[in-house]
Amino acid sequence: MGWGVAPPVADAGFSRDRRMHVSHTGGAVGASSVLLILPRVEPSGEGTEKVIPRGVCVSIIVNKQSVSLSRIALNVAKLFDCVHMSVS
């Protein structure tokens, strides 16, 4: 088991605007899945305040084998990342 880590800077020209994210994919007979975490980039502040990690987590599971879900999960995460939710 392991996590795929996509760094913020990519070598390929088609993914120059890619943000850092981590994901784990899986599959079984008749199913495919992905868990993707897109951390929010917080501006670095001064002081000793503890910052609560924020971001978007997307989990997708489908009843179809050999399906690449990573791009779909990243697109969904980016849609929700645009929404700024307040924490109570």
Instruction: Identify the pLDDT of residue 47.
Output: 58
Q: What is the residue extent of each domain of the chain?
A: 4-40+56-81
The answer to whether the predicted template modeling score (pTM) of the entire model surpasses 0.85 is no
Instruction: Give percent of the chain with pLDDT exceeding 90.
Output: 38
How far apart are the C-alpha atoms of 17 and 12, rounded to whole Å? 10
63 pLDDT band (50/70/90 cuts)?
very high
CA distances for 42 relative to 1, 12, 22, angstroms:
29, 26, 17
